């Protein structure tokens, strides 16, 4: 975990160019750090609250009312013409700030308690890969040139079978993987919100990783799990390029595919085998909110299209 001084200094590094300091923001950000929110999340909250106070100026926080928040929501939607998702992100930051301000005596009441979010169109379930497409990608990965077949195959297996984010894959060390004949796990030490988690590895992922590690010879525990051709840790950009090349070589055109598609594929496959187990899926994916995971229960694009045709 980062030390207090470094955390606060990094948070303050995202200040706007005006140099103006607004009330309570640093205290609020310190509370977020104590709650172990990710640094990127704290930066986003800080930026959103500063933007609100810039709009609200020169009035003081003590005079803030629920009507002011409604006016700000209208300003974001109509004045700045932001998309509902962007508006709601800023409103969520205000909700958390106002709750904190009320708890710490900065506001007499939580004026954001009844603040409604902007209406968002019904979400569509993310698309995953079919079984044939998975086999096609794995086949292309195993046939990668320049002696990268075993590495690329192992990378793809971890992404498909464990649902890791691309940044989490790039950050893995040799010691993060435990391989046994009948069981195995991969430990994510730097997940979203700096939270650790362990994800089980099925037999195909274990075989892929085992074959790759055997080809590397003796590995020290602290070494990167996946290395570039120079021996350094593979970068996020390199993994993204690798997946793009595999998609092109596999000639998959049904849906746009990125590194995040492998995560969707894992999530959809898990729920197919374990219907309704959102809590377990959220833990495996490292999601802080069940609302994030619940998107996998939404209708697919094809189903939504069918519903629209029925209405017509």
Q: What is the pLDDT of residue 122?
A: 63
Answer whether residue 312 shows pLDDT above 60: no
Q: Average per-residue pLDDT in the chain?
A: 86
pLDDT of residue 39: 81
| pLDDT tops 90 at residue 17 | no
Looking at residue 174, what is its pLDDT? 96
Beta-bridged to residue 197, according to DSSP, are 188
Strand partners for 224: 173
Do the strands 197-200 and 184-188 form a parallel or antiparallel pair, or are they unpaired? antiparallel
Whether 295 and 123 have beta carbons less than 8 Å apart is answered as yes
142-166 per-position pLDDT tens digit = 999 999 999 999 999 999 999 999 9
pLDDT of residue 1: 31
In whole angstroms, how far apart are CA 196 and each of 172, 206, 292?
12, 20, 18
User: Rounded to the nearest 10 degrees, what angle do helices 66-74 and 39-56 cross at?
Assistant: 100
Residue 198 scores a pLDDT above 50: yes
Q: What is the pTM of this model?
A: 0.62
Phi, psi of 90 (to 5 degrees): -70, -35
Quote the percentage of the chain above a pLDDT of 90: 63
Residues 193-215: what's their mean pLDDT?
Answer: 92
Question: Of residues 287 and 301, which shows the higher confidence score?
Answer: 287
Lowest mean pLDDT among 19-28, 185-194, 238-247, 290-299: 19-28
Residue with the larger pLDDT of the pair 130 and 310: 130
Q: 199: which residues sit within 8 A by CB, 6+ positions away?
A: 162, 163, 164, 185, 186, 188, 284
What integer pLDDT is reported at residue 21 of this predicted model? 53
pLDDT of residue 138 exceeding 80: yes
d(CA 154, CA 148) in angstroms, rounded, equals 10
Does residue 301 register a pLDDT over 60? yes
276 has pLDDT over 90: no
Average pLDDT, integer, range 282-309: 76
Residue pLDDT, tens place only, 22-70:
658 989 999 988 887 778 788 889 999 999 999 998 788 889 999 999 9
User: Do the Cβ atoms of 106 and 243 come closer than 8 Å?
Assistant: no
- Lowest mean pLDDT across 129-138, 188-197, 241-250: 188-197
Query: How high is the pLDDT of residue 40?
Result: 78
pLDDT at residue 104 above 80? yes
């Amino acid at each position: 975990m980062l030390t207090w001084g470094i955390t606060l200094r990094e948070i303050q590094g995202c200040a706007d160019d005006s140099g103006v300091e607004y009330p309570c923001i640093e205290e609020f950000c310190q509370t977020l750090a104590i709650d172990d929110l990710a640094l990127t999340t704290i930066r986003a909250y800080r930026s959103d609250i500063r933007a609100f106070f810039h709009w609200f100026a020169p009035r003081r926080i003590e005079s803030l009312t629920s009507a002011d928040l409604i006016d700000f929501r209208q300003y974001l939607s109509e004045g700045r013409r932001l998309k509902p998702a962007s508006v709601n992100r800023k409103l969520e930051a205000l909700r958390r700030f106002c709750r904190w301000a009320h708890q710490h005596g900065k506001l007499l009441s939580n004026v954001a308690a009844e603040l409604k979010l902007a209406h968002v169109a019904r979400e569509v379930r993310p698309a995953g890969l079919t079984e044939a497409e998975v086999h096609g990608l794995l086949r292309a990965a195993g046939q990668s040139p320049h002696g990268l077949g075993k590495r690329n195959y192992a990378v793809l297996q971890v992404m498909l079978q464990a649902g890791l984010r691309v940044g989490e894959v790039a950050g893995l060390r040799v010691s993060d993987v435990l391989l046994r004949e009948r069981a195995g796990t991969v430990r994510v030490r730097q997940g979203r919100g700096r939270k650790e988690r362990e994800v089980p590895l099925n037999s195909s992922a274990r075989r892929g990783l085992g074959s790759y590690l055997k080809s590397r010879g003796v590995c020290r525990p602290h070494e990167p799990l996946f290395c570039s051709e120079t021996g350094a840790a593979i970068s996020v950009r390199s993994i993204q390029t690798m997946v793009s090349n595999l998609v092109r070589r596999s000639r998959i055109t049904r849906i746009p595919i990125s590194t995040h598609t492998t995560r969707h594929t894992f999530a959809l496959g898990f729920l197919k085998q374990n219907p309704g187990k959102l809590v377990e899926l959220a833990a495996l994916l490292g999601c802080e909110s069940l609302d994030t995971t619940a998107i996998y229960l939404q209708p697919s694009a094809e189903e939504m299209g069918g519903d629209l045709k029925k209405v017509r």
